């Protein structure tokens, strides 16, 4: 079967040496990052402090636009930060948790860092309502919707669940939240770049994530989309000079907020990480997420079919419409098997209650999927023989 997307393989050096199936954790590095890092050093070395005015100051907002175009965000609505947890802090700092509307509602399938952050906000008056889920794979949507009530302020939920790749019903969550006057913070870390998202069609209030997984952008860049009308009103208390209307006046006293995206930023941005993020974003923007999604649905189905042949339990939805880019497979001694897979250059990961996670991306061949499953089978047979 011809696969147009395989033409991008030479752009990713690690594909020559490994079966790279771990894009849910760290996407493969595009070759262009070598040049981007060299250019960064050259700019610093030759332009010195002039680099801020010539290029660096706007970079945080420009990279925000490159991320925003993948989610159909209008220009200048996406600010960049270090990570998703920091994005939660920026959002939390826009609200007052001492009034009656102070509930924060999410499910126990959220990424733990996000939950740790909101649990800690209980000291500032936030009331956390964590909805329990049942099977470790899906989120019972109605149960989550029922928990969102008139006292709910924020609903910070993952779009795609990191353990199982279940796709939350973002449209239903936004609809219910808005009906009762609550706002949704959609964590699109595990969706943007592999599952299409349109923040304007969803009318979602906030969307956040990072570039290091499906966007092949490396560690250090988180992003925060804020709905344009909210963006003009909100005043983050976690703020700094980048958010000031006239940062270089170095005024004394309270800040005068500028417009988004700088309004949601604070101190000096992480220039090297922003530069490193660009080659991956360029490739994903060029391909388009719809094409990536088509291939991903086909390849994840293939992985499930191969795992079924071995009789392994699948901890991922079988319905392709409910499934993101990852297939989680439960196998005996999954953690040790995962270590052995890494030793044999099959790069995947292990997560408790998920098993081994395999995440093909646009650059993977079908043979690599077959190889990954084949090597898991080999390791399990060897272990069985060894233990008699």
84 near ligand PLP, rule: CB under 6 A: yes
Shortest Å, Cβ 100 to ligand PLP? 29
Candidate ranges 3-11, 13-21, 82-90, 132-140; the one touching ligand PLP (CB under 6 A)? 82-90
The neighbouring-strand residues paired with 328 are 357
210 near ligand PLP, rule: CB under 6 A: yes
Selected from 76, 162, 166, 206, the binder of ligand PLP by CB under 6 A is 162
Shortest Å, Cβ 373 to ligand PLP? 23
Q: Which residue is nearest to ligand PLP (CB)?
A: 83
Candidate ranges 81-89, 148-156, 284-292, 295-303; the one touching ligand PLP (CB under 6 A)? 81-89
Burial 277-290, CB ≥16 within 10 A → b, else e? bbbbbebbeebebe
Shortest Å, Cβ 255 to ligand PLP? 25
Selected from 138, 190, 328, 364, the binder of ligand PLP by CB under 6 A is 190
Find all residues with CB under 8 Å of 46, minimum gap 6, and list them. Answer: none
Alpha helix locations (H) across the chain? 32-47, 50-51, 57-68, 84-92, 112-120, 141-147, 170-179, 199-202, 228-233, 271-287, 289-310, 334-343, 366-387
Distance CA 244, CA 141 (A): 40
Burial 298-317, CB ≥16 within 10 A → b, else e? ebbebbbebbeeeebebbbb
23 near ligand PLP, rule: CB under 6 A: no
Q: Apex CA 375: angle with CA 370 and CA 376, to 5°?
A: 100
262 near ligand PLP, rule: CB under 6 A: no
223 near ligand PLP, rule: CB under 6 A: no
Binding mask 110-129 for ligand PLP (x = CB under 6 A): -x-xx---------------
Contacting residues toward ligand PLP, per CB under 6 A: 83-85, 111, 113-114, 158, 162, 187, 189-190, 210, 222
């Amino acid at each position: 079967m011809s696969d147009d997307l395989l033409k991008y393989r030479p752009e990713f050096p690690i594909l020559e040496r490994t079966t790279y199936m771990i894009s849910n954790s760290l996407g493969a590095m595009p070759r262009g990052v070598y040049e981007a890092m060299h250019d960064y050093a050259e700019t610093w070395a030759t332009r010195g402090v002039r680099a801020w005015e010539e290029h660096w100051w706007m970079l945080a907002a420009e990279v925000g636009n490159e991320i925003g175009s993948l989610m159909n965000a209008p220009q200048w609505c996406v600010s960049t930060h270090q990570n998703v947890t920091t994005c939660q802090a920026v959002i939390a700092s826009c609200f007052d948790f001492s009034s009656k509307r102070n509930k924060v509602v999410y499910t126990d399938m959220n990424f733990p860092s996000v939950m740790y952050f909101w649990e800690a906000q209980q000291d500032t008056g936030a009331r956390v309502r964590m909805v329990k889920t049942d099977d470790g794979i899906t989120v019972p949507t109605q149960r989550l919707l029922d928990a969102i009530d008139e006292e709910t302020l924020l609903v910070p939920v993952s779009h795609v669940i990191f353990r199982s790749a279940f796709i939350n019903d973002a449209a239903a969550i936004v609809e219910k939240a808005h009906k009762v006057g609550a706002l949704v913070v959609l964590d699109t870390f595990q969706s943007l770049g592999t599952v299409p998202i349109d923040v304007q069609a969803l009318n979602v209030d906030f969307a956040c994530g990072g570039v290091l997984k499906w966007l092949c952008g490396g560690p250090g860049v988180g992003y925060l989309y804020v709905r344009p009308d909210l963006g003009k009103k909100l005043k983050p208390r976690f703020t700094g000079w980048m958010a000031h209307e006239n940062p270089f006046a170095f005024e004394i006293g309270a800040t005068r907020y500028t417009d988004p995206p700088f309004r949601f930023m604070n101190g000096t941005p992480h220039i090297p990480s922003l530069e490193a993020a660009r080659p991956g974003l360029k490739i994903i923007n060029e391909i388009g997420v719809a094409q990536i999604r088509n291939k991903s649905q086909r390849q994840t189905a293939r992985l499930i079919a191969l795992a079924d042949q071995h009789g392994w339990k699948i901890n991922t939805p079988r319905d392709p419409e409910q499934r993101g880019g990852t297939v989680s497979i439960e196998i005996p001694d999954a953690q040790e098997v995962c270590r052995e897979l890494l030793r044999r250059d099959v790069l995947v990961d292990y997560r408790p209650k998920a098993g081994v996670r395999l995440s093909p991306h646009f650059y993977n061949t079908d043979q690599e999927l077959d190889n990954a499953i084949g090597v898991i089978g080999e390791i399990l047979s060897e272990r069985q023989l060894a233990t008699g």
